[in-house]
Structure 1
């Protein structure tokens, strides 16, 4: 290694990355010292949101099956409608809310809360409904339970068919949005508690809520 290459390793970008890793290590250490209730909310809160997403998927699937008069393959349609929304919601909440928040990249409370609400509403509420459309459409075509239109009228048909489902699912979407807002708010509060602990050196249970 030449002297020039050695100095390039100590570039501002490398120092920034090193400082970020050190900060993440400190945050993780402080997180491990938090009360178990706070740790459980951060570690497992996303799964509650994801479970609600699975329920939304199953409900949307049942509504479309009823509208399209699909009577067969109930397990085949229910399984992906429960599993895919669960995994998608948990992964996206982790990537867009939890990880940025507890890595120190998301310090804005409003931004964190908005992200949580959007993930809850869009991924946990709307996505399962949109996922149910092609699944049940393919089943209706396969078992010929309902005559489907040609390609020229397909979009209008699904817009009309989906309207009653969206109306019935509106409460579920609202609940998902509120759940995402609640989780993001509580987790941001826990993050602030950790920052206070880092600044004061006091025990996390003695810190203000």
Structure 2
């Protein structure tokens, strides 16, 4: 009975994936490009708040010499995390 449930779930997933693929192929070229390269926009939106928070935090602490050294991790970490999640959840599911 478990095998039957897995087969049903697999068939439903394949059906949903084929519907999504068909819908994506019907999109205009510009929107398809946005879907393919959307991670860059999302990553930059993740980096910007990190840099703003870092700048405000450094101003509160009156630190003037470490803006680049402290800002690098605040920009890199969100960028990499969003890149990995976008690629794994959006791009791989669409392919």
TM-score strictly above 0.5: yes
Give the structure with higher Rg (CA): 1
1:85: which partner in 2? 78
Tell me which of 3, 6, 15 is aligned to 2:8: 15
The alpha-carbon distance between structure 1 residues 8 and 84, as it changes in their structure 2 partners (threshold 3 A), is closer
Alpha-carbon separation, structure 2, partners of 1:70 and 1:87: 26
Residue pairs, 1:96-115, within 5 angstroms: 98=90
Structure 1: which 5+ residue stretches go unaligned? Answer: 1-6, 103-209
Whose relative contact order is higher, 1 or 2, with alpha carbons under 8 Å and at least 6 apart? 2
Tell me which of 35, 44, 48 is aligned to 2:28: 35
In the alignment of these two chains, the number of paired residues is 91
Matched, 1:50 2:36: no
Residue pairs, 1:67-82, within 5 angstroms: 67-82=60-75
**After TM superposition, which residue ranges in structure 1, 4 or more long, deviate above 4 angstroms?**
none
Residue pairs, 1:145-156, within 5 angstroms: none
Normalised by the length of structure 2, the TM-score is 0.66
- CA RMSD, 1 decimal: 3.1
The alpha-carbon distance between structure 1 residues 75 and 23, as it changes in their structure 2 partners (threshold 3 A), is same
Matched, 1:61 2:37: no
Normalised by the length of structure 1, the TM-score is 0.35
Structure 2: which 5+ residue stretches go unaligned? Answer: none
What's the CA shift string for 1:61-105, capped at 9, x where partnerless? 11211210223333221111111222334527x74xx58xx7xxx
